[in-house]
Amino acid sequence: MRSSNLGVIENLTAQFSKEETLELFQKICLIRAFELETKEAYDAGFIKMPVYLSLGQEAVAAALSLSYKNPYIFGQHRCHDLYLAYGGNMQALIDELLHKPTGCARGMGGSASIHDQAINMFGHDGLMGTQIPIAVGFALAKGKRVIAIMGDASAEEDYVLGAMAYAAHKKLPILFVCLDNGLSILTKVEVRRNWRMADVAASFGMRGVEITDDPWLIMHHAHHMSQSLPAFMNVHVVRHLWHAGTGKDSEPEWDRYELVKKELFNLGLDKEAETIRQNAENLVHELWSKSI
C-alpha cells in the first residue's frame, strides 16, 4: 500500500497556478531548512530537550495551509511543520527550543507542545491522540473550521475513534489528517492492526481518502473535502529521522522534497525554485545564528 505515488492524479499540477506552486515550495523549503538547522543545534548540544523533527513530511503541512485556510489548529507532538506552514512565529519557536522565556510556550512546551495564538494553534499535552476529541469539542462549541492532525499510532486510541464518530454524527466542521509514517516509534502498523483508518472514517459516514504525500494531491483533496466536513485524509509520509532526536536508521523510502523539486523542474520553475530554496535557508540560518 505505501508508495510515493499512492492515489496520484496525472497532471494535477496544472490545476494550480504558478504562484500557488511556488508558495507551496516556499513553505516546504522553510520547514526543511528549519528542521535541518534544528538538527544542527541539537547535535551541537544547544537544545537540551527531546526534539520531534518533521524532516520528510514537510509537504503535507505546506499543502494543507494553502488549501485549508485559517482553521483552528490542533496538532500533535511532531508539529514544527504545522506551526511553520500556518505562519507561526519562527523566532518564538527557536526560542522555545532553546528554553528561553520568549519561546512560544515560555519553555514549557519544548518541541512537542508548541502553540501560537496568533494563528489559532493550540498546544498538545503529550498524551497520544488527545488533540482529536479536544478538537471535536472545540468544533462543536465554536462552530468554526478546525483541523486536527494525528499519527497512525494515535489513530488507534479508542478515544480518537470515538471522537471522530461523534464528529461525523454531528457533522462538525473539522478536517482530520493522519500523518501515517507506518511506525509507532519502530513498530510497524501491520504488526498493530489489520484495518485502515480511511475505511473506519468512511464507516462513520465521513469522506475518507488514503493517499501519498504529494502536495498537489493533498491540496486537491483538502479543497474538495473542505466543502463537505467532517472528512478524513490518511497521508503516507516518510519520517527521515528517529521518533525523537536526530538519529537515522536507514535511507528514507522516498524524499518528497526532492520529488517536488523534480516536478518544479518539469514545470520549468527550477530557477525560481532555487531562489526560493536559497532565500529560505538564508532566512532560517540567520535567525538561528542570532539565537545561539
Partner 1 sequence: MTVAETIKKITREHLIQNSGLTLGQCLTAVGWVGGTVPEMKEEDGLVELSMADVAGGGIAVGAALAGRRPIYIVRYQGFQWFNAAHIVNYAAKSKEMWGIPCPIFVRSIAMDGGIGPVASGSHHGMFLRMPGIAVYAPMTPKEYERGWEYFMAHDDPMYVSEHRRSFAIDYEMEDVIRSNADITLFPISTTRLNAREAAENLAKEGIICNIVHQVWLKPFSVTEKISDALYGSRYGGMVIDGDFENAAAKCLAFDIMHKTGKKVYALGLEERTAGFAPHFDNLPPTPLKIFNKIIDIVTK
Write out the residues near partner 1 by the rule CB under 8 A: 105-106, 108-109, 113, 115, 117, 122-123, 125-127, 130, 132-142, 158-163, 165-166, 169
If the CB atoms of residues 158 and 249 are measured against partner 1, the closer one turns out to be 158
Contacts of 174 (CB under 8 A, 6+ apart): 135, 136, 139, 145, 146, 147, 148, 167, 229, 230
Cβ at position 107, least distance to partner 1 in Å: 10
Q: Which residue has the cell 532566512?
A: 283
Give CA angle at 67 (63, 71), nearest 5°. 105
Determine the distance from the C-alpha atom of residue 252 to the mean position of all C-alpha atoms in its chain, rounded to a whole number.
17
If the CB atoms of residues 162 and 205 are measured against partner 1, the closer one turns out to be 162
- 179: closest CA among 225, 141, 105, 233? 233
The C-alpha atoms of residue 180 and residue 154 are separated, in whole angstroms, by 10
Contact 54, 35 (CB under 8 A): yes
Phi (first) and psi of residue 117, to 5 degrees: -60, -30
Cβ at position 23, least distance to partner 1 in Å: 29
Cβ at position 130, least distance to partner 1 in Å: 6
Query: Which region holds residue 81: left if phi is over 0, alpha if psi is between -120 and 50, else beta?
Result: alpha
Helix (H) or strand (E) holding 151: strand 146-151
Cβ at position 170, least distance to partner 1 in Å: 9
Q: Which residue has the cell 494535477?
A: 12
Cβ at position 41, least distance to partner 1 in Å: 23
If the CB atoms of residues 47 and 112 are measured against partner 1, the closer one turns out to be 112
Cβ at position 209, least distance to partner 1 in Å: 23
Cβ at position 122, least distance to partner 1 in Å: 6
If the CB atoms of residues 161 and 259 are measured against partner 1, the closer one turns out to be 161
If the CB atoms of residues 157 and 253 are measured against partner 1, the closer one turns out to be 157
Asked whether the bond before 230 is cis by omega within 30 degrees of 0, the reply is yes
Contact 239, 183 (CB under 8 A): yes
If the CB atoms of residues 166 and 242 are measured against partner 1, the closer one turns out to be 166
Q: Which residue has the cell 506552486?
A: 21
If the CB atoms of residues 123 and 208 are measured against partner 1, the closer one turns out to be 123
Cβ at position 152, least distance to partner 1 in Å: 19
Contact 115, 123 (CB under 8 A): yes
If the CB atoms of residues 62 and 164 are measured against partner 1, the closer one turns out to be 164
